Chains A and B, each alone.
Chain A
């Protein structure tokens, strides 16, 4: 009996012993001496510009303490969803942009409307309208994109030099480069991380975009276009051909993204399709090979114009129930809308939203190349980089499985586009697809 009482006492004692960081503390205390809870995921072992900036802001604002809880893509779904669902959760968090849980949070009124700050603080001058529409629902702005991500073909300059290869600008030239690499013993000219699937969807997506263009994708996403139209079919067929010709190597499905980038840094794989998000970590992982990395835009699969591509990275949201909304908005303002911060983020390898003066900043060489490639083709139009930002969650899952199927030889291009169309129609019926919306009016 004594033991049970002891346990009961212990349990009660522990219930009280949360030492400050609990989610309740943010609500009961007056805004002035409080704790701002932030859930932010960062790649472990990476020097992170954002956390340093947050520390700076924290010092400058003594009456609020920012408590960062390390989250990440692994941890968010099972942690964030129950928390918000029960009316709890952090004051701010960095999460995915797009349909699925993020949109669900917005629809349920759990995310704070940031439009007032957007207008009053002049954020509307920094965030381009096309980007603002992605994070707008019903004319209200709910999230702040932390970066612009673009993708391209990353390659090893020394290998190209060695073989006398030029950067290709047409698809035929690209295929020539690939065959030359194969002839010279490179088993895997285009590295694809099949096991993780998502990196490969970026390549397939890019091929789609080059075939249908900005108008085509807009029609499919917001109009009555389908995923089975000619452009998509042709691009998917050409993707399957790449696999059929063995250009993805003997076993693309065996590679995880980590393994593939490791081989890319080692020079075993001369090219891979990926994006700027790899750059911050690459500086450490590639070591001395970092400066040898170059990037060029993927040539058009239909010999048409090459488009720039851009998608928002992560979105930063504020809890609708937070007592520290003003402080949160102030932090956001500091992080993403002041020149010094944006310069610092850029130097870290991430491209912040809005105009950046590249001339004043010491950029990693590969990032410079990536940005200049985008600038080169921007006049032709811009297409989205990440399909998942603009489509319901179920679509991305189908896309990943389909892409793996093509790599395994068990799915045909027809089947892939058809399965996506079927999933799309189901989601559309359920009202889960995004509506073309305009940026908020100020």
Chain B
């Protein structure tokens, strides 16, 4: 009797203190790792942003330290003689218009793909998916001809339309993922009430996928803001050029003014960084839900 009870002793466990120490060690290790990765992400950009405030002498003598003293000359030069003020406006117009167009078109398409059964649905989905594999530089020549036929060359419309046309499949699928998560009970109820499809979409479904719409808006803004090849080909007049082109123009062949170039980088990335700072939380939620179900 006594022998039996003694053999059922519980397995040895580390003391509470050791467990706490081990967990804290793991936590510290975790944060070290995260900080290293964060440094990897941040340092190159910090370097660029700091260089924007250095004059030519400092770029040579103090390439990796803080600007001492910081100068605004580069930013000024980029903004005025670099014509970045002009390019900035063009970029804003193009991006804002593209976003406005996309947040209307993508949810409409996404909803159709998600909540409706119709003939040819598989074909449409397949066709849209294949579109993701088409490299833009390959179709730029035929696209140019189309734009010319429509008399849209050198207009913002040519770039906006192309952005929306190319991005529509991708963003439609993101919206589709959002719509798929909504319970079908909602629309069944609405349909029974005699609600028209459009009304249903506009008043009921769309507000429920607001995070998705925000995601689409942010991503479309980002993509149109940074895009280089489309303005390069379609907008060859100085007064409609965009910021990335301005940057490209600064990369001369024989000499590089690193300070000026860095100022350009700062101006180019400033708006998108600010946007993502503000909408970070919503964006993260939106993107996550969109791709988890994707």
Contact = CB atoms under 8 A, between A and B. Distances in A.
A and B touch in the complex (CB under 8 A): yes
A6 to B, nearest CB: 8
Given A23-B236, A74-B248, A18 B154 contact: yes
Interface in A1-28: 1, 3-4, 6-7, 10-12, 14-24
Interface string A11-50: 1101111111111100000000000000100011110000
B238 A67 contact: yes
B128 interface: no
A10 B100 contact: yes
A78 B232 CA distance: 7
B161 interface: yes
Contacts of B154: 18, 21-24
Contacts of A125: none
A285 interface: yes
Interface in A391-434: none
A82 B140 contact: yes
A257 B155 contact: no
A23 B257 CA distance: 32
B248 A14 contact: no
Interface stretch (A51-59, A83-91, A176-184): A83-91
A70 interface: yes
Interface in B65-112: 93, 97, 100-101, 103-104
Given A43-B254, A69-B238, A88 B104 contact: no
Given A11-B157, A17-B155, A86-B145, A43 B255 contact: yes
B251 A3 contact: no
Nearest to B228: A78
A116 interface: no
Residue of B153, B160, B251 ringed by the most chain A CB atoms within 10 A: B153
A281 interface: yes
Nearest to A256: B256
Given A23-B236, A82-B144, A14 B257 contact: no
Interface string B142-181: 0011001001111111001100000000000000000000
Contacts of A4: 104
B239 interface: yes
A11 B238 CA distance: 20
A18 B108 CA distance: 30
A109 B152 CA distance: 24
B181 to A, nearest CB: 24
Given A82-B144, A281-B254, A14 B104 contact: no
Contacts, number: 130
B153 A23 contact: yes
B260 interface: yes
A79 B255 contact: no
Given A7-B100, A7-B104, A70-B238, A257 B253 contact: yes
A19 B156 CA distance: 11
A86 B160 contact: no
B235 to A, nearest CB: 9
A74 B232 CA distance: 10
A67 B241 CA distance: 14
B229 interface: yes
A43 B155 contact: no
A258 interface: yes
B134 interface: no
A18 B237 contact: yes
Contact of A19 (B198, B239, B256): B239
A85 B104 CA distance: 35
A45 B255 contact: yes
Interface residues of A, number: 50
A72 interface: yes
Interface string A257-285: 11001000000000000000110010011
Nearest to A74: B248
Contacts of A3: 100, 103-104
A424 B237 CA distance: 38
A88 B233 CA distance: 12
Interface in B249-293: 249-257, 260
A75 interface: yes
A79 B233 contact: yes
Contacts of B253: 43, 72-73, 257-258
Contacts of A284: 255
Contact of A14 (B103, B141, B160, B229): B160
A82 B139 CA distance: 11
Contacts of A17: 155-156
Contacts of B252: 43-46, 72, 281
Contacts of B217: none
A78 B233 contact: yes
Interface in B3-24: none
Contact of B97 (A7, A67, A88, A278): A7
A3 B260 CA distance: 40
Contacts of B145: 82, 85-86
B152 A15 contact: yes
B243 interface: no
Contact of A82 (B93, B233, B256, B260): B233
A70 B238 CA distance: 8
Contacts of A7: 97, 100-101, 104
A81 B143 CA distance: 13
B52 interface: no
Contact of A78 (B100, B104, B140, B156): B140
Contacts of B153: 22-24, 88
A78 B153 CA distance: 14
Given A88-B153, A258-B255, A69 B161 contact: no
Q: Give 10 closest A-B pairs by Cβ, nearest first.
A: A21-B237, A82-B144, A22-B154, A15-B157, A86-B148, A14-B156, A43-B252, A44-B252, A281-B254, A285-B255
9 contacts: A11-B160, A44-B257, A45-B252, A73-B253, A78-B232, A82-B144, A86-B148, A90-B236, A284-B255
Given A3-B100, A75-B245, A79-B233, 17 more contacts: A7-B104, A11-B101, A12-B157, A15-B151, A15-B155, A15-B157, A16-B155, A18-B240, A23-B153, A39-B236, A44-B250, A67-B237, A70-B238, A70-B249, A86-B148, A257-B254, A258-B253
